[in-house]
Structure 1
Amino acid sequence: MAKYLLRRIVGMFVVIILVLTIAFVLVRLAPGDPAALMLGPDATPQEAADLRTRLGLDQPIILQYVKFVGNALKGDLGESLFFNRPVISILADRAEPTIFLALMSLFFALFIATPIGIYAAYKRGSLLDQSSVTSAMLAASIPSFLTGLVFQRVLATNLGWFPTAGYGGPDADLWVRLEHLILPSITLGITNSALILRFTRASMLDILGEDYVRTARAKGMPETRVVLRHALKNAGIPIITVVGLTFALLVSGAVVTERVFNLPGMGNLVVNAVLRRDYPVIQGTLIVVASIYVLINLATDLLYFFIDKRVKY
């Protein structure tokens, strides 16, 4: 276990260095002067020269890279050109809506997909099984922005069940903000439930055909216990894997939904940073999202041991 963790930590460090290198190179690959691109076409040569000095772009490229990687490893991701604040503090302010949105969306996706996937596998070939697979493919095919717009019109505007958009006022408490996240969470939950449902069904189908499941049934064990305790537990590893990947995708891929519902999250921040040519914010978001991916993958792998004691690291 210790050797496995050491190897994973070393691998995580290598991945982070590669991400830092990519983030560093992307800005330098942009055609023209990076400082002039950040300031826009109306900038004077003196303003571009001052920004190059401020960002260290007038130094040798190797020195720039070493300073960039060293500062990033210490938590210094630079300063936003638009907000004139450290990038790390801006990302910290925008992380709450994104993290809560990802967690609530994952909850709705599991609430929809897990019971349907288990029952569809148990009733293989039935009408419910066929309709659930068809519904899953349909949910995966519809863009999340279209689902969000329909829900906004019907559930928020016409029926008034949920807030239409936003994240509450500056003084809003946690419950008010969570209420604003229900509708976008349902939107993302429905879209991402398709993959979880299909994996749950496929994993359960494999396990329900095993000999020990037939033996448990032959011994007279209640069917609920056979399905939930024996079959579901042993089918857990593929399900945990896809749940971890789904959560990582929700954290990094909720850009469209945040724009539709006007949520002040990291996705909305990146879109605005691209429009404003705020490259330090783009670089910082890339680094943070990649780090989240790495940590989620590690946590998912460690969960295997707790789900199935037969797993050896």
Structure 2
Amino acid sequence: MARYIFKRLIGMMIVIFIVLTIAFIIVRLAPGDPAALMLGPDASAEDAAALRQQLGLDRPIMVQYLSFVGNALQGNLGESLFFNQPVTQVLAGRAEPTIFLSLFSLLIALVIATPIGIYAAYRRGSFLDQAAITTAMLAASIPSFWTGLMLQRYLATDLGWFPVSGYGGPDTGFLERMRYLLLPSIVLGIVNSALILRFTRASMLDILGEDYIRTARSKGMGERRVVLRHALKNAAIPIITVVGLTFALLVSGAVVTERVFNIPGMGNLVVSAVLRRDYPVIQGALIVVASLYVLINLLTDLLYLVVDKRVKY
């Protein structure tokens, strides 16, 4: 077990190193002079030269690369050109809404997808099964921004059940801020429940056809116990896999929903950084998201041991 974790950590370090390299290359491949792009078209040549020196862009490319990697490994991702703050501080200030939005969305997706997927597999071929599959495909096909705008229009504007957009002011309490996240979480939960539902149904169908399920039924065991204790427990690993991937995608891909609901999260920050050509923030966000992604994958693999004691690494 310890050897497996050590190997995975080494693999994570390699992935992060590759991401560091890609982030460095992206900025250098930007058309034109990066310093001039950051300052805008009205900047003078002297200002561009001063910024190049400040960013170290006037040094040899290999020296720049080694300095960038060395600083990143020490937790120094540079300084935001727009906020005039360290990138780590800027990202930390935007992490809360994104993380809670992802957690709430995943919880809603699980509440929707898991019971429906289990029941659809149990009633395979029935009207409810076909309706569940059709609804899942429909939810996956509709763009999240359209769903968000529709719910925003009717549930927030017309009925007033939720705040329309935003994340509250500086003095807003924690519970009130979480209230701002409910409607966007419902949007993302509906969209992402489709994949979890289909995987839950497929995994349960495989298990419900096994011999030991028929044996349990032949011994007079109740259907609830057969489905929930025997079938669901053995079907859990594929479900956990897709749940882990869904959470990782939510953390890194909630950009559209954050823009629609004007949530000051990491996705909204990255879009703004691209428009402002704040390259240090773009590089830092790419590195942080990639690190979170590989960490979530590792935690998902370790969760297999909790669910199924037969799993050995």
TM bucket by the smaller chain? over 0.9
Q: Report the equivalent of 1:96.
A: 96
Q: Report the equivalent of 1:5.
A: 5
Asked if 1:160 is matched to 2:160, the reply is yes
State the SS of the aligned residue for 1:59. coil
State the SS of the aligned residue for 1:172. coil
- Could you tell me the TM-score, scaled by structure 1's length? 0.99
Q: Report the equivalent of 1:35.
A: 35
Give 1:31 shift.
2.0
Return the alpha-carbon distance in structure 1 between the equivalents of residues 51 and 185 of structure 2: 41
Q: Unaligned regions of 5+ residues in structure 2, if any?
A: none
Give 1:183 shift.
0.2
Q: Which string of whole-angstrom CA distances, capped at 9 and with x for unpartnered residues, describes residues 48-81 of structure 1?
A: 1111111111111111111101111111100001
Alignment of 1:90-239 (within 5 A): 90-239=90-239
Return the alpha-carbon distance in structure 1 between the equivalents of residues 204 and 224 of structure 2: 14
Q: Name the aligned partner's letter for residue 102 of structure 1.
A: S
- Greater alpha carbon shift after TM alignment, 114-123 vs 39-48: 39-48
Q: Report the equivalent of 1:25.
A: 25
State the SS of the aligned residue for 1:160. coil
Give 1:32 shift.
1.6
Q: Name the aligned partner's letter for residue 197 of structure 2.
A: L
State the SS of the aligned residue for 1:105. helix
In the comparison of the two structures, how many residue pairs are matched?
313
- 4+ residue runs over 3 A deviation: none
Return the alpha-carbon distance in structure 1 between the equivalents of residues 33 and 181 of structure 2: 41
Q: Which string of whole-angstrom CA distances, capped at 9 and with x for unpartnered residues, describes residues 8-62 of structure 1?
A: 0110000000000000000111122111111111111111111111111111111
Return the alpha-carbon distance in structure 1 between the equivalents of residues 136 and 31 of structure 2: 43
Q: Which string of whole-angstrom CA distances, capped at 9 and with x for unpartnered residues, describes residues 66-124 of structure 1?
A: 11011111111000011110000000000000000000000000000000000000000
Return the alpha-carbon distance in structure 2 between the equivalents of residues 247 and 9 of structure 1: 20
Alignment of 1:298-309 (within 5 A): 298-309=298-309
State the SS of the aligned residue for 2:85. coil
Return the alpha-carbon distance in structure 2 between the equivalents of residues 79 and 228 of structure 1: 52
Return the alpha-carbon distance in structure 2 between the equivalents of residues 47 and 309 of structure 1: 62
Q: Report the equivalent of 2:57.
A: 57
Q: Unaligned regions of 5+ residues in structure 1, if any?
A: none
State the SS of the aligned residue for 2:249. helix
- Could you tell me the TM-score, scaled by structure 2's length? 0.99
Percent of aligned pairs sharing the same letter: 77
Alignment of 1:258-277 (within 5 A): 258-277=258-277
Return the alpha-carbon distance in structure 2 between the equivalents of residues 214 and 310 of structure 1: 21
